[in-house]
Amino acid sequence: MCFMGRWSEEKVIGTAPDQSSLAAARKLARPGPWSDTGSNDDSNHAAALAGIGVPAFACTPDLFPELMAAAIERRDVSEWAAFHDIVTTHET
């Protein structure tokens, strides 16, 4: 599974192209409903989807275009996820 990890404040400051972008990044960095993996951990929805055979998983931004391409091409998304070592089963 691909995980980019949390950026340091120094990396964010060094990457921001201007002050308004930096201010927006600081707002996003405040604690909120998102987990450290960059996904909103809604286990109830994931379990409900898994219960009817629909794969439900978090996807990092770098893999998202490839995931969308697989879905548009009607490829098996579960196989795509397995190829990228992404777990699609819900554990209780």
Q: Do the domain assignments include residue 3?
A: no
Residue 18 in domain: yes
Inside any domain, residue 50: yes
- pTM value is 0.44
Q: Determine, yes or no, domain membership for 29.
A: yes
Q: What number of other Cβ atoms are within 10 A of residue 59's Cβ?
A: 20
pLDDT tens profile 8-36: 778 777 888 888 888 887 777 665 555 55
Gap between the Cα atoms of 83 and 63, Å rounded: 12
Q: What is the pLDDT of residue 51?
A: 78
Where does the pLDDT of residue 6 fall: very low under 50, low under 70, confident under 90, or very high at 90 and above? low
Within 13 A of 50's CA, how many CA atoms are on the CB side? 14
- Asked if the structure places residue 43 within a domain, the reply is yes
- 78 or 88, greater pLDDT: 78
| Cα four-point dihedral sign 61, 27, 9, 39 | negative
- Domain-located, residue 2: no
- Give the separation between CA 15 and CA 32, rounded to whole angstroms: 22
How many domains are contained in the chain?
A: 1
Mean pLDDT calculated for residue range 56-69: 84
